[in-house]
Structure 1
Amino acid sequence: MPSTRRRTLAVATVAVAAVVAAVALPLFQPWRLFTGKVVDEALPGADPISMTTSSVPPPTISGDRRPTPSATRPKTPRRLTSGTFISHEHKTTGTAAILELPDGSRVLRLEALDTSDGPDLEVWLSDAKVLDGKRGWHVFDDGRYRSLGQLKGNQGNQNYEIPKDVDLKALTSVSIWCNRFNVSFGAAELT
């Protein structure tokens, strides 16, 4: 009989371990500690790279010497606010800036971002004050916030469109927010 009990206990232990693994692995996704995605988007509204050519430009037909609208230098994006990321739940570095583009639209620009990959990460603008350490991990969903969408990659340079109805005077911080565990991976105060 003792060997039957041991066998039953072993089968029960394996069954419980399988159920725990089936629930815990998709929830926590521990492999994301070793994965990553690099995104390198161009600065929006920046002048494109020009290439020189040895070709001779065609002659002009009219005597009009005024520059055409395409020949005038376009405006560059204007930096409204910026800040440097601090780490919360996971080590996070890089900078965040809100830029106004020549057409009047606004984007959040993350530069040199480096954080952990994680499940269900979003980029949030928030009215929360950025606090150091554990006391700042959970504050970003306490007040007003606006998700700008899923984090495109945990490393690199990326842009997030800010809808016109977002009040940037009220939302003065940005967080890399994990919806799965309601925690900030890192945040920056926008000043």
Structure 2
Amino acid sequence: MNGAHPTSGKAKVILEEDNSLSLVFLDFKTDSGPDLRVYMAEDNRATGFTEISKEVKNGSVKYKLSDETDAEKMDHVLIWCKAFSVNFGSAVLQKVEE
């Protein structure tokens, strides 16, 4: 979803073969900006966030999540401009029923 800048693509969390989790962006695109970060958070305001990456790349990208990242609770993925506390764009992760 767009935030302060046009942002598009898909985001999902996947379970790897070693039982770790990764955040995957597919066909991702956003504007460049100063001090952009990838966060997972409880909402679009970065409540209870965890920084996933200090580098934001367009395209299809995979970020390994730390063991401390609670993907159930932090269901918002944010492209966050840390320098200005601005949400460039976001995605809400939806639980897939098995």
- Per the normalisation by structure 1, the TM-score is 0.48
1:37-80 Cα deviation digits (max 9, x unpaired): xxxxxxxxxxxxxxxxxxxxxxxxxxxxxxxxxxxxxxxxxxxx
Q: In the alignment, which residue of structure 2 is the partner of 1:181? A: 84
Structure 2 distance, partners of 1:115, 1:165, is 27
TM-fit CA distance, 1:105: 0.9
The AA in structure 1 aligned to 2:92 is E
Q: In the alignment, which residue of structure 2 is the partner of 1:39? A: none
Map residues 31-180 of structure 1 onto 2, 5 A cutoff: 86-128=1-43, 130=44, 139-140=45-46, 143-153=47-57, 155-180=58-83
Which structure shows the higher helix fraction?
1
TM-fit CA distance, 1:151: 2.6
Unaligned runs of at least 5 residues, structure 2: none
For the residue of structure 2 that corresponds to 1:87, the secondary structure is: coil
For the residue of structure 1 that corresponds to 2:83, the secondary structure is: coil
- Per the normalisation by structure 2, the TM-score is 0.90
Structure 2 distance, partners of 1:167, 1:156, is 25
Unaligned runs of at least 5 residues, structure 1: 1-85, 131-138
- Give the fraction of aligned pairs with identical amino acids, expressed as a percent: 28
Q: How many residues align?
A: 94
TM-fit CA distance, 1:152: 3.7
Which structure shows the higher strand fraction?
2
The AA in structure 1 aligned to 2:52 is L
Q: Which has the larger radius of gyration?
A: 1
CA RMSD of aligned residues (A): 1.0
Structure 2 distance, partners of 1:180, 1:173, is 20
Moved over 3 A (4+): none
